[in-house]
Amino acid sequence: MTTFNLPDLGEGLTEAVLLNWLVAEGDPVEVDQPIAEVETAKSAIEVPCPYAGLVQTLHGEVGETLEVDKPLITVTTGDDDAPSAAADEDAGALSYREEERAGTAAPEEAGSEGSGNVLIGYGTSASSNGRRRRRKRQVPTQAAPGETAPGEPQLVEATPTQTPAVEATPSGSAKAPRVSSPLVRKLAREQGVALDSLPGSGPDGLIMRQDVLTAAGASTDGVAGSPSEPVAAQAAGTSSSVDPDPTTGLAVRDQTPVTGIRKAIATKLSQSRAEIPEATVWQDIDVTALLDLRTQLKASDQGAPSVLAFLSRFVIAGLQRHPELNSRIDSDGTGETITQFQGVNLGFAAQTPKGLLVPVLRHAEQHSARALHTEIRRLAEAGREGTLSGKELSGGTFTVNNYGVFGSDGATPIINHPEAAILGIGRIMDRPWAVDGQLAVRKVTTLTLAFDHRVCDGGSAGGFLNYVATCMENPGTALADL
């Protein structure tokens, strides 16, 4: 028997929440087969097994917080000659690097077969001969068309034009459904949808979020990641506990542990408030000309960048003129140093089913407004699907936040520690505005800048904000100079 520890998940992460076991005790497993879904402070990750054999013990319950380098799964390999297993007999567990060697060959050794999926999203997969993962499940017995096998849930029937997302082995046993996103599997569990024979609308029959919602009878027109809960689930969530809360005297509706991404958000925001002496400045601006420019660009074949993409481009130009805001405070225990950067790693706040994430576009100064629009959309979609990598969620030097999409006129945004500043934009409204001495109705919004007062004073912060505001009010002139 060989015990496999939870591997190093990268980005300095030391723990993860167990979302779901993909195998059960007694199941056969193959090398590189995903065995568990875990959620880190960055994203949801599938953990593959570096051994082939039978699952002996699962170390941990769903919802439990697991520590890196602590036992995850014990496998009976049945191969006493396996180098990795023999070396691990005394240690009782594999280190991350040993797991990497056991689960896959190095890129230079593997050639065209790729490096293997050590962790989903952290390795390259083979182009043609990679293994498909398998998950234990009950195989339905043969039933007449339109009937359901005994003991099996009713499944949505595939249309003739759709390809079922489950492939069968030559022996007739079912393989795992073609689902790449842990969020889709979680959604299927919440909605009570069986994935085994659900047709997928994605490439090669890949099951997408819309497929699950359609099968569950839910509407796909709502907010991403917020499917309607079944009535029974709502009732369960609002049920009162036996004992009331001792402080308020009220019945407890629900209690949720602060773990995973929610814990990371709480830690970072608390650290920001505790360490950064922030100040806030804001400015109302007339963006009528910007919206007129977007209307003109929409008529072109290439389309128009979003307001956030234009704002981001002007922020990048502003940071090149005021680099003190594109910085951070470094401390070595004896003193502090202000570190400024030549490039801009631009983060933007994105609301996702897992909470507030800040995807980071590295070297954003190399992109035009149109390119920024494309990259922002790509990263936002990856955030909603839970497929952002650790690199795409770290390393930012400045953050923009469009809270206007939530109907907010303004806000006092919290700086994304350890950055030095964050710029937010509120909703755009029709407001009375003086134009050449005459009152007119214009499209007006508010820009708000929160900055670390240790890196600069109000003059620099105000100069930066005014530059961005001027660009937003006169986008044609600004873009001609960029």
Q: What separation in angstroms does the CA of 344 have from each of 36, 319, 354?
A: 36, 8, 26
Instruction: Using the CB atoms, write b or e for 256-295: b if 16+ within 10 Å.
Output: eeebbbbbbbeebeeebeeebebeeebbebbbbbbeebbe
Under DSSP, the state recorded for 45 is E
d(CA 324, CA 339): 9
Bridge partner list, 55: 75
CB atoms within 10 A of CB 209: 21
Beta strands of 23-110 (E only): which ranges? 28-29, 34-39, 44-48, 53-58, 65-67, 71-76
Name which of 415, 394, 393, 411 is nearest 402 in CA terms. Answer: 411
What is the H or E stretch that residue 275 is in? helix 260-275
Instruction: Using the CB atoms, write b or e for 19-41: b if 16+ within 10 Å.
Output: bbbbbeeebebeebbbbbbbbbb
**Does 322 participate in catalysis according to the annotation?**
no
Residues 6+ apart with CB under 8 A from 480: none
* 387: Cα separation from own chain's centroid: 6
Residue 452 in contact with residue 421, Cβ under 8 Å?
yes
d(CA 115, CA 416): 34
d(CA 175, CA 106): 28
Which of 59, 367, 373, 453 is labelled catalytic?
A: 453
Name which of 64, 188, 258 is nearest 196 in CA terms. Answer: 188
Q: Which residue has the tokens 């576009």?
A: 361
d(CA 228, CA 225): 10
Which residues are part of the catalytic machinery?
453
